Amino acid sequence: MQYISTRGGGEPLSYCEALIEGLARDGGLAVPRTMPEVDAATLEGWRDLTYPELAAEVLGLFATDIPRDDLARMTADAYAAFPADVVPLRPIGDGITLVGLSEGPTLAFKDMAMQFLGQVLEYALERTGDVLNVLGATSGDTGSAAEHALRGKDRISVFMLSPLGRMSAFQRAQMFSLDDENIHNIAIDGVFDDCQNLVKRLAGDLEFKHAHRLGAVNSINLARITAQVVYYFWAWLRATDETGSAELSVTVPSGNFGNILSGFYAKQMGLPIRRLVLATNENNVLDEFFRTGVYRPRVAAETLATSSPSMDISKASNLERFIFELFERDASRVVSAWAELDAQGFFDAVPDQPRLSEEFGFASGTSTHADRLETIRSVHAASGDLIDPHTADGVKVAREHLEAGVPMLVLETAKPEKFAETIREALGIELQYPPEVRDMLDAPQHVTEMPDDADALRAFITASALS
């Protein structure tokens, strides 16, 4: 299996080469040269596998340069700290089942991919004898998941950018309380898109990137996307076993489009998914795109701070991978679209908009602060479950796209404890933290505040990077 760039430049790469490279040298993203396919017999043969075993099978279709025994060891190690079933499914009423993706060390779905990424990055670097300086941006959960997966690793340093004052107190504490020498937290005076733009700017500076061995763990990294494909197969195998239905729909709260892109890849591979329903918050650029075919990111000043902060993203990096497929893998059209976006602030990707729903199976919707409060209340009243505000956005939109006889899954994004303020507002209850969490919240925080300035970031990395 080889990987090419969405923008057509560079030589094809292996899986390990692509994950270390991060952003492609031409500014594009790595995508499979051909999508692997899974037939019905293979799918049924996977039904009784454990999650690590299934992960080795699915990832083995992408990472063909890694011996299967090595891959199986890495997936076993990646999910060793999770509960036995790793990803539990639980019904919450209205024909909706939550896919529990928040059982990992940082209580967010990002752990599902990050724990594997930590294993496979270390594996690839040991094979080559190299080091990697990871440069990433987070709106909340990516940063803590990456840092907890990579802390203490000798060959890796992490430089994680976050928007100053735009994360929850719990999210900040999970990141900034770490004092490992290889973890560097940087709070940028701006919004998430400013952080993401800085990452792309430095990754696009090839001389600086290679001199300082920069890599990525954001969902622009191929390993993140492929590792997330696994839980779509896992959830389908369990939901269809319980319901007897061969087809289901999945709703995904989405900010940077990586989580739902993994579902799109699973669907392309042959998994029987009827609808992929994208849920946004008030920063509903992606909802507008899937309703109209027009992609119109907002500028930083127009990106709202909301009570589902991990989705406070205007310009979704992973949309480029979907645009590449939408444009029938014509890299020149991708390049032209981004040039049009830079020139006028938008582009019309799909003049024939129904293609998005009829050909690709997408639907979408928007949730507001009032919606998520009411959804948290209604789910708690009906099932006793507590859900976080991002998952609430997903449930609200899922309810609008239910179809008779078609099970609906909603991907859980985080534990409610990470967003205690919103739970208090919705339900009037105080969540009780165990002692180790209280210690984390009270611990000294280690973070460098920095302006939205690429030169200042370059200087900081130059002074602190592994070489």
Active site residues: 110
H or E stretch at 157? strand 156-163
What angle separates helix 258-269 from helix 222-243, to the nearest 10 degrees?
60
Distance, in Å, from the CA atom of 449 to the CA atom of 187, rounded to the nearest integer, reads 5
Distance, in Å, from the CA atom of 303 to the CA atom of 66, rounded to the nearest integer, reads 41
Torsion angle, alpha carbons of 204, 113, 317, 361, to 10: 150
Q: Which 3 state secondary structure label does DSSP give 192?
A: helix
Tokens for 451? 């302006």
Cα angle value 395/399/402 (rounded, 5°): 125
Helices (H), 6-151: 15-21, 40-45, 51-62, 68-78, 110-128, 141-150
Tokens for 73? 């060891």
Cα angle value 23/144/310 (rounded, 5°): 75
Task: List the beta strands (DSSP E) in 63-114.
Answer: 89-93, 96-99
CB of 430 closer than 8 Å to CB of 416: no
Q: What is the DSSP letter of 310?
A: G
Spatial CA neighbour of 387 closest among 371, 372, 368: 372
